[in-house]
Structure 1
């Protein structure tokens, strides 16, 4: 609720105008166009009052007095009204078109900026922020931030309308103008009361929208868990609670608006009745003309519109400020990851990997990795073996700098990863995770990820990953659409496409985090044999549990209790380490039971 409490402070209006200032500086041309259109509309709306007053004095009253109307006067009145209406319509089009373009451009710009920021922020930052919140930042918060742009040109134009109208009222009849303008304080008080009552509710609703989005995303993302464990009713109840809370807040805000709108609309009408009553008396006494009374009365009816337009603008400020703060918190985030200026050397041989006294903990009271040190020579293969939750996947995240260690260093070719420029590591290092993620795209798109890679290289990577056979059997080969997350494929097929995605980039350091766990042992053996044959110039780090995989490695490290318990060849560790032997034999037995 901290955002809501902040919005309740007196700085909301100032911050709201600051948000609008940001939009105006970015889109000055469109803002000027829409404002000119709004001012044109305002001037022509007031001109209607002048035309009405002129027609009353020179057409209507003479017609009653003389019993006839000249054709020239009728055409003049018609021409004035039609001309004013056409020009006013032009102003409306320019105002609305400009405001719409400006609003949608700002939304698109902010959404792109937020999305780019998501892609550059480290995984450590993403782990602290739920996906539903990130979706809310990129969607509803962006819309809320730039919501006031729509009424902004109209509000500015109506300020001009109000100034012209008040001046014209004063020039028409000072006494009637003063009588009519007495309604202004009442309108201002009504607006202030509305802002005070509605702003907290609108701000609270904005926060609830984010919470509803978070719950919905979790439920949809975890659909398999929800359905297989029969938790549909519980998830429905969890979503219902927040949805009903949002509904109730919106209803309360709508009830306040429902009472405010007719109150604001009735106040000028009361003022018109008072002006007409006083005006009749002044006309009878000869103190003013009937046309002036009509002009003042009409102007008074349109003077309330500018105040309402400003009220609409101010009413958007609470949500706008909250949305802008939430998006800016994303754009200002840096995580804890900084970058240097170093670049990886361009070399055809494998990378040299050095891990020096590495420490990392998700929970400070329960460190996961403690003093891990090892090195891998260029072109060599290292297998990492350990029990579940021993830190193997975390180690792969550290080696690809998805997160930074709490202490210690990781070097590639002598370069500390923290000294490398942003993006420099991705050109030489590739990680294939255990959980393969595929985009709702073609096979080619999932392998190349938009890079300009020839199809023959794509097929070569697919053959190395033992994926060329099933891809060729698909309906359209490389052009086959895979659907969201590649749900049309099996787990092993998704893993092989994920592996091909890494191989097509010819990384100098390839890290496989149990990347063939869903593949049959026979297919896995062919994949690993192909990698050993074709990727001789690459350094390979493999998180593995199958003996066949481990046996292909030049060296093995055994992780236990956050440390390297032993290191050597697979045969050496089997002979001298009972704990290692028990672990890999248990894995082998489990794999045999799974695939007898």
Structure 2
């Protein structure tokens, strides 16, 4: 309960004015609900009883009674509107605020953190956990406002008959006990349910992402079973939590009614012995029925605490996460000649016992092209991640124009560097949108980048040209077409350093040769680092680095390495033989 109120305290401090308005509306509603008892009593005394005694009723009295009832009803309606509108605005604004915070944190955290957390969990944190955290805001103003109604009603009960009031108020300790039992039994279930929601989202995301593998290998049944296992477990946990809630809600609703019965029984005895009168008994019993509504509303609020606390803790775990990627204040020239890239004694390991890169040192002069060649798991992609500062090295440094990447201000590296990964990602947007990504580029610049990437021909043949919608992940394009659009996306920014991580692997050799030739002709000032396998690609490089077991095993031109490195010759010739076999 303490943690639940602490979560609500965060929301109140964040949106104090909206909370104040909604709470005042709720207080108005509560006060006027209690005022109904006074209006009813006044009307009975000044209209109903005189009508029976005199056989007539004055028009002025009738209008007064009508005005009182209508006035109370209108003001109570205003209170309801203010309460509900304010609560809704407050709840949705807190959810929007938390989602923005979580997504900003995702963008700030380094790739190392993302690699340790599955995508499904990240989606759950930003969606269901955020909703769960702020769900109690909806009943909060009503619960706070009805406390005022409860206080007014209790004061009237005490003024009517102290003994009967104390008998009726015995309901409250029982409510507290019921809530404590509910919290302790439901909290573990809510924690497990939120975790299972993340796991269900994760499995679904994996299955959708791997639809091609699932379909081609006939794994539909296994994936369905894997998904169903978690879904059924989530269902069972929610049913258990629902059973507990199903006992809690009727208990909270029944307790005030039980209190009324006890008050009536006690009141009858006190009337018979002359300790009180019937009016006091009716007043206390009626006011206790009014008090039952605040008790229920508080119960609704407390009933949401377990899920809220769990959701808030899961969101806060993301917001409290800290990456090791710090930034400096240095800047670099965004335009001009190619960047000077220097890699000094670089070392990196995902696991301390299995280093991926060790003592890697090389340089790429402005405007030059360097090819990274190596067998699978030799460290090529890790090296490109370090050059693009998706991760920081354990030892050594990467420098651009003499400045350590770690000393650059946030966003500076993106001004001079573009990277094209092996797996080209397309957004569910138009061709133009996928290339510009919201940047201020003209259509002429878009077409220039497409021509260099050898993509202008097929884009011109699309139904709507640059305005053609590509669908989710670019499903309307082939793998090679996606790679070329991804390359155009990088080229339009005119980077001083361009990193291609096997970015033309899905393109046939002839088109690849034209692409690389166009890069050198139209972007001769750009420094180029290419992860490559094909001889035609490697042959265009000014220098080749042969990576083996995380080290530079050889460097030189393609022809020099073929002559003096049998391992290098075996590697590139094996790839050519494999490619020739696939073509045949």
1:459 paired residue among 447, 451, 454: 447
C-alpha separation between the residues in 2 aligned to 1:268 and 1:114?
42
Give the Å deviation of 1:358. 1.0
Is the aligned partner of 1:83 residue 2:71?
yes
CA distance in 1, matches of 2:560, 2:24: 83
**Alpha-carbon distance in 2 for matches of 1:524, 1:153:** 64
Residue matched to 1:22: 10
Distance 1:381 1:529 in 2: 12
Corresponding position: 1:215 with 2:203: yes
Residue aligning to 2:480: 492
Q: Work out whether 1:385 is the aligned partner of 2:386.
A: no
The residue number in structure 2 matching 1:189 is 177
The equivalent residue for 1:227 is 215
Deviation string for 1:349-386 (max 9, x for gaps)?
10111111111122221211111111111111111111
Report SS of the residue matched to 2:581: helix
Contact kept? 1:130, 1:214, Cα under 8 Å: yes
Counterpart for residue 497 of structure 2: 509
User: Relative to 1, partners in 2 of residues 1:56 and 1:207: Cα closer, same or farther, differing over 3 Å?
Assistant: farther
**Greater CA deviation, 258-267 or 90-99?**
258-267
Residue 405 of structure 2: aligned partner: 417
Q: Which residue of 2 aligns with 1:373?
A: 361
The corresponding residue for 2:127 is 139
Give secondary structure in 2 for the equivalent of 1:488.
coil
> Structure 1 pair 387/474, CA: closer, same or farther in 2 (3 Å)?
same
| Residue aligning to 1:9 | none
**2: CA distance between counterparts of 1:182 and 1:52?**
27
Counting only pairs closer than 5 Å after superposition, residues 41-56 of structure 1 correspond to structure 2 as: 41-56=29-44
Shift of residue 282 of structure 1? 5.6
Counterpart of 1:109 in structure 2 is: 97
Q: Does 1:354 align with 2:342?
A: yes
1:208 to partner: Cα distance = 2.0
1:590 maps to 2:581: no
Write out aligned runs for 1:296-307 (5 A). Answer: 296-307=284-295
Aligned ranges for residues 439-450 of structure 1 at < 5 Å?
439-450=427-438
Listed as ranges, the gaps of 5+ residues in structure 1 are: 1-12
Answering whether residue 250 of structure 2 is matched by residue 259 of structure 1, we say: no
CA contact (8 A) 1:42 1:158 kept: yes
Aligned mate of 1:547, from 535, 541, 560: 535
Question: What's the secondary structure of 2:107's corresponding residue?
Answer: helix
Note if contact 2:252-2:295 (Cα within 8 Å) is conserved in structure 1. Answer: no
- Report the Cα distance in structure 2 between the residues aligned to 1:70 and 1:137, rounded to whole angstroms: 65
Q: 1:5 is matched with which residue?
A: none
Work out the CA distance in 2 between the residues paired with 1:115 and 1:100: 23
Please report how far the alpha carbon of residue 299 of structure 1 lies from its aligned counterpart in structure 2 after TM superposition.
1.0
| In 2: Cα distance, 1:565 partner to 1:497 partner | 34
Give 3-state SS (helix, strand or coil) of 2:5's partner. helix
C-alpha distance in 2 between matches for 1:442 and 1:125: 31
Distance in 2 separating the partners of 1:502 and 1:200: 49
1:65, 1:184 → 2: CA distance? Answer: 42
Q: 74-83 or 345-354: which moved more?
A: 74-83
C-alpha root-mean-square deviation of aligned residues, in Å? 1.9
Deviation at 1:186, TM superposition (A): 2.9
Q: Which residue of 2 aligns with 1:6?
A: none
Equivalent residues of 1:57, 1:290 under 8 A apart: no
Bigger Cα displacement from structure 2, 188-197 vs 241-250: 188-197
Count of matched residue pairs: 584
Q: TM-score, normalised by structure 1?
A: 0.94
Pair 1:281–1:318, CA change in 2 (3 A) = closer
